[in-house]
Each structure stands twice: as C-alpha cells, then as structure tokens.
Amino acid sequence: MVIKSAEYLISSPDWEKCPAADKPEYAFIGRSNVGKSSLINMLMNQQKLAKTSGTPGKTQLINHFLINKSWYIVDLPGYGFAKVSQSQRRNWEQMIENYLRKRPNLVNVFVLIDSRHTPQKLDLDFVNQLGKWEIPFQLVFTKADKTTQLETSRNVKAFLNKMRETWQFLPAHHVTSTVKKMGRDNILAFIDEMNAR
Ligand code: GDP
C-alpha cells in the first residue's frame, strides 16, 4: 500500500465522541513505552504524526488519524503505567472496553509487545480479555533490533506458547523494528487486504 496522505483528525474522551464510524479502522495499543508512536510513524512514513513518549498516563484519549482519505488508524492510550491511580485505571478500563466493544467499524486491534521481554502477565491478560470479548487482533512484537534475532524469536515463541495453553487458535503476529523499517510491509498488506473486503 502506498501512503498518500496521513492526517491527525481528533482526540476523543470516549467512543461516543469518535468520528463517524463510516470507514474501516485499525487500533494500536500496548504498554506505555512499547513503541506505539514510533510504529505508527513508521507505517505512515512520517516523523511526528503520532507523538513519541508523551507524559505517561496523563492523556487518556482515543486518537484518530485519517489515512489515504479512506481508513482510520486509532492510537489508544497504553496500559501498565506504574504511577496511575486506581480511579485513573478504572477510567482507562471503562473507556477501552467501551471503545473496543462498541465501535462498529473496528476491523482489527494491533497489540504491541516489547520483543525484548519474556511473556508479561499484563500483555497476556489484555489479549485474553480481547478473546473473551471476541475482538479480532494481531500481535506486533516491537524493537526487534534491540536484541539478537535468537533472543527475539525465543520471546515471540514463549509468548505464543503461553497463549497456546488456553487458546485453540493463535493470532497472526508481526516482528517489527522502526530502526530497521522491519515489519511495515506485512502490516500494511494486511490492512490493504481487509480494506478491500
Ligand atoms: P510509546 O510510548 O508506546 O508510543 O513508545 P514510543 O514510540 O515513544 O517509543 C518509546 C521509546 O522506544 C523511544 O525512545 C523510541 O525511540 C524507542 N523505540 C521505539 N521503537 C523502537 C524500535 O523499533 N527500535 C529501537 N531501537 N527503539 C525503539
């Protein structure tokens, strides 16, 4: 897919204030600092479309970007901030659950996972929750340039094996590095294919 245009549209406090659900959309989510902004910028071939490393936990907004005038990228606030209060966490959970379950044009959620780590409970809990809600998703392992290929593939396998304990079918996954521009084509090809349906 060729990216001809990518523009920031709006940040919404909840799903009801999001733009009209008249175009397919793809959401990106993961722990804070997982590399979500960098990944979105890489996909769009831009330096600063999505902001990198904002103040963790401060803005809990649903960010819409309009791509090629025909589909949306949605940058969702991340999870796993150490310093958020109970009530902030509950707000996040409610906002995310409502958005994920009620947004009718949501085609797929890309769940970002740091490829440097062995499986983390927080990430597993989140994908298991998506499963319970029957939300389609794919896994995106980030920062693959930060460790050796062997270490990355060990961590990817370990995560999938953990999922295998409870899941009958495993989701598709991508291994990415924004430094090496790795994983971009496969993610965009998948989006292209879904948009064509
Ligand atoms: P976000 O909080 O999930 O949006 O994460 P950011 O995109 O702001 O990235 C967090 C930090 O990880 C930044 O310092 C990025 O430069 C760095 N980072 C993100 N992706 C990669 C990657 O693929 N490779 C490397 N080496 N660093 C990355």
Give the pLDDT confidence of 100-110 residue by residue, as tens digits. Answer: 999 999 999 99
Q: In the beta sheet, which residues pair with residue 8? A: 65
Which pLDDT tens digit goes with each residue over 60-70? 899 999 999 99
Please give the distance, rounded to the nearest whole angstrom, from the Cα atom of residue 165 to the centre of ligand 1. 30
Q: What's the N-to-C CA distance of the chain in angstroms?
A: 15
CATH number of 6-195: 3.40.50.300
Q: Specify the length of the chain in residues.
A: 197
Please give the distance, rounded to the nearest whole angstrom, from the Cα atom of residue 33 to the centre of ligand 1. 6
Relative to beta strand 25-30, strand 71-75 is parallel
Q: 124 burial class (0-12, 13-18, 19+ CB within 10 angstroms)?
A: middle
CA proximity to 76, closest of 114, 34, 46, 118: 34
Please give the distance, rounded to the nearest whole angstrom, from the Cα atom of residue 1 to the centre of ligand 1. 24
Q: Would you list the domain boundaries of the chain?
A: 6-195
Give pLDDT, residue 48: 84
Which pLDDT tens digit goes with each residue over 18-43? 999 999 999 999 998 999 999 999 99
Q: How sure is the predictor about 55, in pLDDT bands with cuts at 50, 70 and 90?
A: low
* Mutation pick for ligand 1 pocket among 46, 53, 63, 147 (CB with most ligand atoms within 8 Å): 53
Task: Provide, rounded to the nearest whole percent, the portion of the chain with pLDDT above 70.
Answer: 96
Q: How sure is the predictor about 54, in pLDDT bands with cuts at 50, 70 and 90?
A: low
CA proximity to 31, closest of 155, 100, 126: 126
SS3 177: strand
H helical segments located in the chain: 36-43, 86-102, 121-133, 149-164, 184-195
Q: Ligand 1 pocket by C-beta < 6 Å: which residues?
A: 32-38, 52-53, 78, 142-143, 145-146, 177-179
Minimum CA distance residue for ligand 1 atom 5: 35
Q: What is the DSSP letter of 50?
A: S
Neighbours of 93 (CB within 10 A): 12
Minimum CA distance residue for ligand 1 atom 25: 143
Interatomic CA distance for residues 131 and 127, integer angstroms: 6
State the complex-level ipTM.
Answer: 0.99
Please give the distance, rounded to the nearest whole angstrom, from the Cα atom of residue 13 to the centre of ligand 1. 25
Interatomic CA distance for residues 164 and 121, integer angstroms: 14
Which pLDDT tens digit goes with each residue over 114-173? 999 999 999 999 999 999 999 999 999 999 999 999 999 999 999 999 999 999 999 999
Minimum CA distance residue for ligand 1 atom 28: 143
